[in-house]
Structure 1
Amino acid sequence: MNLKRAKFDMPAARLAALLVLGSVALSACTSTSAVSDLNNVDRAQGSSENISSLSAVVNRNPQDPEAYNVRGSAYGKGGRYREALADFDKAIQLNPQFYQAYANRALIQRYMGNQQAAIADYSRAIQINASYDAAYIGRGNLYRLAGNTQAAFNDFQKAIQLDTTDPRAYHNRGLLYQSRGQHALAIEDFSTAISLSSDSPEPYNGRGLSYLANGQLDNAFADFNTSIKLNPKIAESWANQALVYEKQGDKAKAARSYKEAKRLDPNYKPAIDGLARTSAGA
């Protein structure tokens, strides 16, 4: 029952972490792209048929914390957060050192709006296993979204020092470098994230904006085009492409790209503002 590694998603209000089975992962020039997981995993694993079979396992092994953790993960992927929370609670009750279950519960807490509880669960997972990179990344993203950028940076840095192969650590640290205007470092991190997950559009958007900030229009344009090719339904990618057209003086093409961004997300302010600036050239 493996899942793909978590991919990137936006906007920042969407959530970040991994549901895990035991120790194995289930499978202006600042980017708004953040990370996500449940939006990209195999929803079939949260199907009623799969949950039914997992419930049979729980019934046969009522004292096995792993059985509850696995079913809780399936509940989470199926959007049944209260059932998921109950299963992770039970797994932790049976095994208070089950750090993966704490991280899984943190994700569900976050989906339910319990941000401080989520941070506490990630912190407990780290206390039990100080080398658990997924917990640093999950907690770091919570800190980042709350505006606690130094704590977020420290967590992403720690995950990277642990030799994580999770692209989220590099992507999110890149966003922080970018917000500080440290675009060379941001480009390096986005490039590493791309090397670890080349089919994810968000690191291309991030790197493209840092290229743009450094005046490297051709590189920026190539990255935005790649992002659109990978997923043409992301408003940010089209708005970023439009920004290059605008800087090149081609208002007609810029307006068309801004219009597509606004169609995808009618409330996306960069698209609204860009279209207002360039619509006369459409």
Structure 2
Amino acid sequence: MVFTWFRKLRFKGTQLVLVSLALVSCASTPDQQVETESWQSFATRGNQELTTGNTDAALALYVKSLNLNPNNAELLNKIGAIHADRRNFNLAEEAYRLALKQQPGNAATLTGLGLLLIQQHRREHALPLLKTALNKDASCWRCANGLALLYDQQQHYSTALAYYQQALKILPNSAQVLTNRGYSHYLAGHWADAERDYREALRLEDNYRPALQNLALLQTRQGKVQEALTTFQKTTDIASAYNNIGYIFMLDGNYGDAEQYLEQAISLSPVYHTEAFANLTKLHELWRH
């Protein structure tokens, strides 16, 4: 059944598996040797390519391995993860669901599928998958972090915090989890706690973009605009930093300051700043009403 699934994807010609394989065969395949290798050899080479960031080659090698060993849930999980990273949601979900048919209740597969469903805003389907995965594997920080995100989205901040705490017990020095917990504190109105988490995340990874952006958002809302500009400029150019602050002011209904910062963004940009102009147009529409 698995071989038929991949064969179908190759011949449809519209799915990214086909695109990836075509790119690999033309440019990225490590070599053109006759395919007499074992599935383990293809899988090992796929892992090596994935480590170097060559996901096109990795995907091609995983598919070759799977064609020789079609009941391998681990390979299907890796294929699903690559497609999830590329936001090829249908292909990723199909890979994960095939993996579950091979190994029902596999914690890694449940985790991958649950996190994928969060990306698709299918929260009610993601929740039981991640809870089951965490019950099966108490060391799965990604499950705990994913559950926390789900409860944040439902505005159940105390429950979310408990799951973030669990994730940090498993992976104490995670800038990602700390930043997520900081944003949970921010949403709950606990801004001092949010700033503490953002700064701890940046102590661990000084250029961690999500923490910098969230800290700049918080600083803007705190009225620390110059600090926010400096923080934003660690992730983008000065014109976009002004645009970001103008956009935040617009969301807050502070239209006068929003106009000032958006106009400054346009004037500072060496090229036409389409995003700032679009925000300024939206601002004037809101202001008139």
Q: TM-score, normalised on structure 1?
A: 0.67
Structure 2 vs 1, CA of residues 229 and 274 (structure 1 numbering), >3 Å: closer, same or farther? Answer: farther
Asked if residue 122 in structure 1 is aligned to residue 96 in structure 2, the reply is: yes
Structure 2 vs 1, CA of residues 88 and 254 (structure 1 numbering), >3 Å: closer, same or farther? Answer: closer
Report the counterpart of residue 172 of structure 1 in structure 2: 146
Could you tell me how far 1:270 is from its partner in structure 2? 5.3
Structure 1 alignment gaps of length 5 or more: 1-47
Cα-to-partner distance string for 1:23-67 (whole Å, 9 max, x where unaligned)? xxxxxxxxxxxxxxxxxxxxxxxxx9xx78xx99x98x83x3222
Give the SS at the match of 2:62.
Answer: helix
Cα-to-partner distance string for 1:72-116 (whole Å, 9 max, x where unaligned)? 222233344443233222322222221101111223334565421
Larger RCO, structure (CA 8 Å, separation 6 or more): 1
Identity %, equivalent residues: 20
Q: TM-score, normalised on structure 2?
A: 0.65
Contact conserved, 2:179 with 2:197, CA < 8 A, in 1?
Answer: yes
Report the counterpart of residue 155 of structure 1 in structure 2: 129
Contact conserved, 1:76 with 1:108, CA < 8 A, in 2?
Answer: no
Structure 2 vs 1, CA of residues 172 and 263 (structure 1 numbering), >3 Å: closer, same or farther? Answer: farther
**Cα distance between partner residues in 1 of 2:100 and 2:60:** 21
Structure 2 vs 1, CA of residues 65 and 239 (structure 1 numbering), >3 Å: closer, same or farther? Answer: closer
Structure 2 vs 1, CA of residues 136 and 244 (structure 1 numbering), >3 Å: closer, same or farther? Answer: same
Asked if residue 97 in structure 1 is aligned to residue 71 in structure 2, the reply is: yes
Contact conserved, 1:239 with 1:270, CA < 8 A, in 2?
Answer: no
Report the counterpart of residue 118 of structure 2 in structure 1: 144
Structure 2 vs 1, CA of residues 271 and 202 (structure 1 numbering), >3 Å: closer, same or farther? Answer: farther
Could you tell me how far 1:232 is from its partner in structure 2? 2.4
Could you tell me how far 1:152 is from its partner in structure 2? 2.0
Mean CA deviation greater in 102-111 or 181-190: 102-111
**Cα distance between partner residues in 2 of 1:159 and 1:269:** 41
Q: Which runs of 4+ in 1 moved over 6 A?
A: none
Matches of residues 128-277 of structure 1 in structure 2 within 5 Å? Answer: 128-246=102-220, 248-263=222-237, 266=240, 273-274=247-248
Q: Which of 65, 68, 89 is equivalent to 2:39?
A: 65
Amino acid at match of 2:70: P
Matches of residues 3-152 of structure 1 in structure 2 within 5 Å? Answer: 62=37, 64-110=38-84, 114-152=88-126
Cα-to-partner distance string for 1:248-274 (whole Å, 9 max, x where unaligned)? 554443443344454499489755534
Report the counterpart of residue 6 of structure 2 in structure 1: none
Could you tell me how far 1:163 is from its partner in structure 2? 2.3
Alpha carbon RMSD of aligned pairs, Å?
A: 3.4
Structure 2 vs 1, CA of residues 72 and 254 (structure 1 numbering), >3 Å: closer, same or farther? Answer: closer
Contact conserved, 2:233 with 2:241, CA < 8 A, in 1?
Answer: no
Give the SS at the match of 2:46.
Answer: helix
**Cα distance between partner residues in 2 of 1:259 and 1:83:** 35
Bigger fraction of residues in helix:
2
**Cα distance between partner residues in 1 of 2:71 and 2:87:** 25
Structure 2 vs 1, CA of residues 88 and 265 (structure 1 numbering), >3 Å: closer, same or farther? Answer: farther
